[in-house]
Amino acid sequence: MSQSSSYQLVQASHVEMAQRWRHHHHAWGGGMPLELYLEREEALNDGELCRKSMRMWLLKNDCDEILASCETYAARIWYGEAEGDLNGLKLETVASVLVEPRLRMQGYAGQLMAELGARLKFEGVAAAALYSDVGPGLYRRAGYYLHPARESIRAVAGEPWPATADEITLAQVADLLKEETRHVHGRLAMTSVPAILEVPTAERVAWFNVRSQFRAWSRGQQPPVVVGARAPDGGYVLWTADAGDPILHVLVWRPRSPEDAAVLAQAAMAQAIDQDLQRVIWWDADRDTGLDPYRAPQLQPPLAMSRDRESSLPMLAWLDEARPFPLVWGGIERFGWC
């Protein structure tokens, strides 16, 4: 599928993946010791999400030299059109785009993205998504559209775990998420414009949990057992503390009432305190498209401050020419990020 005889896009062998992880540590280690970081990458690679859906891609030249690399994670989006038809389409989330410092400014990242887009389109992938911490220029040239995003943030205060909230462990997540597809279908059926939504999965939550475990170990802490909370009215929240910064990131926010929102936010505060974290962040929490009931103003986390996101900006490349470009993209909570 290469567009040029000078380059080839190939999947990495395990040996090549391990070599690239060392470069990833230099770029994204976040202060984690190298050996612990490499152990984490092996653990992630052995997990169900990576075994089923992750591929590392290498851009090589004619001398078999690696010029750039990235990873993709396969998922499924549900696409709804004005007529009410629903389709399950392939999505690939792109992550870890890396050119080593000595090879930068030579166009290799752009070549990698062009080769990858052609390969995914050939495979019948409908869309590719990514979350960029760098300028969008590279990705726009590769056909990605920036999705403006916001986040809601609360500084951690001394709040105890609410007496009315139940703890959620990883073993409970699969059953908890079983209803998600049904709810997504219901929301898509209400739209009058092309729209896509991604359904969170237990495998992706488990992926975040592994990262959170290793991040805790790097801080000299015991890994958390609790990955979320359930409120009295049936709403729930899932979170992760996998980042290098002392932040609890909300993965999935599903309050069913303002009372739920208050209880779930308090539980998140208590979890952050337990892990010596400073802030709780809800990704895109207040962006109300009219399609997602959990974005309703009355269901937002109380006392949280909203602001435009300046990092991990969501982008989408629409590869399916047979269907209209989605005017509403719902899957931009952090569960879609890798």
Predicted confidence at residue 337, as pLDDT, reads 57
Distance in angstroms (rounded) separating the CA atoms of residues 325 and 319: 9
The CATH architecture that domain 150-310 belongs to is: 3-Layer(aba) Sandwich (3.40)
CA distances from 250 to 12, 104, 283, 290 (A): 32, 34, 7, 21
Predicted confidence at residue 313, as pLDDT, reads 86
For the chain, the structural domain boundaries read 150-310
Tokens at residue 314, please? 């969501």
Predicted confidence at residue 134, as pLDDT, reads 72
Q: Which residues contact 290 (CB under 8 A, 6 or more apart)?
A: none
| pLDDT tens digit sequence for 88-133 | 999 999 999 999 989 999 999 999 999 999 999 999 999 999 988 7
Q: What is the DSSP string of 257-316?
A: SHHHHHHHHHHHHHHHHHTT--EEEEETTT---SS-GGGSGGGSPTTPEEEE--SSEEEE
Distance in angstroms (rounded) separating the CA atoms of residues 32 and 253: 29
For the chain, list residues with pLDDT below 70. Answer: 1-5, 82-84, 135-136, 331-332, 335-338
Residue 89 carries which side chain, given as an amino acid letter?
L
Give the residue from 335, 316, 166 showing the smallest Cα distance to 239.
335
CA triple 210-213-214, angle to 5 deg: 90
Q: Is 145 helix (H, G, I), strand (E, B) or coil?
A: strand
Distance in angstroms (rounded) separating the CA atoms of residues 301 and 297: 9
Predicted confidence at residue 227, as pLDDT, reads 97
Residues in the chain: 338
What are the E-state strand segments in 99-225?
Answer: 127-132, 145-146, 150-155, 166-169, 195-198
Angle between helices 14-28 and 34-46 (to 10 degrees): 130
